[in-house]
Structure 1
């Protein structure tokens, strides 16, 4: 079984916005001279790039019989049959269908997602909502891990 790993990276357009933030910072520093202008440009781009990078560093992995999504780590044996959410269904589950007890790793710039029920009665989390660019591959990896799990 090949382990599954996906990083929910920010779209390329967000990196262009980082440059624009740097330019705005430079314009604010313009009255103070060239050196502060250059410092503000570099600082603005750097700070916004760090923020963009950290927001886009979320990972989803299926390894060692467990699904790991950010701080959530559940054995695949505690998960039910997942469902693929197309962009419209994903939006519905993010908004009016959402359960406040659910674990949601969502990124609005990723239109598709999966919803995986948590079947462990000791866990109050009803389901995991995970934004993913490869929903079929993620569910296949969970199923493959479940089949090879010792408790299966």
Structure 2
């Protein structure tokens, strides 16, 4: 056991509070479909293994729900960087930020207006998003296109993170 007094530098620092955080979980339709898949598996297995069919249905439904939660990306602004799924970019290399507040605008941004070099973090159940230009000449990615249900809040958080730097 070490009885030496802790120095201020030795104490763990709390993680910076995020200015914006959203997990892009599916809407109600996906949750109902996950439960429906479990019911369907139970019905199919009922004539074959009547005692195990309900358990198998519950396992399939729970596994599908777990898969939906685990694969849902997080969009976050924290400690001077934007995180969208597995990718991160410092806020200070972001240029103009454009909220995409309608499904029609998002459809255009993902269709005819999309640059193939752009980083896209898309979930079809989040029908709005945000486009953030990149000002890094060393990065071939011209912009990020990120799904979010709260594009104005994400743009404000990026503005606040950029102003604090």
**Structure-1-length-normalised TM-score:** 0.90
3-state SS of 1:35 partner = coil
Contact 2:18 / 2:76 at 8 angstroms: preserved in 1? no
Runs of 4+ aligned residues of structure 1 deviating over 3 Å after TM superposition are: none
**Structure-2-length-normalised TM-score:** 0.83
What is the number of equivalent residue pairs in this alignment?
Answer: 148
Could you tell me which residue of structure 2 aligns to residue 60 of structure 1?
75
Could you tell me which residue of structure 2 aligns to residue 16 of structure 1?
32
Could you tell me which residue of structure 2 aligns to residue 106 of structure 1?
122
Deviations 1:42-85 (A, max 9, x none): 22212211222223x31111111111111211111100111111
Q: Which has the higher helix share?
A: 1
| Higher deviation after alignment, 39-48 or 16-25 | 39-48
Deviations 1:79-128 (A, max 9, x none): 01111112111111112222221111111111111111111001111110
State which structure, 1 or 2, has the greater radius of gyration over its C-alpha atoms: 2
Q: CA RMSD in A?
A: 1.5
3-state SS of 1:141 partner = helix
Could you tell me which residue of structure 2 aligns to residue 144 of structure 1?
160
Superposition map of 1:1-152 within 5 A: 3-55=19-71, 57-85=72-100, 86-149=102-165
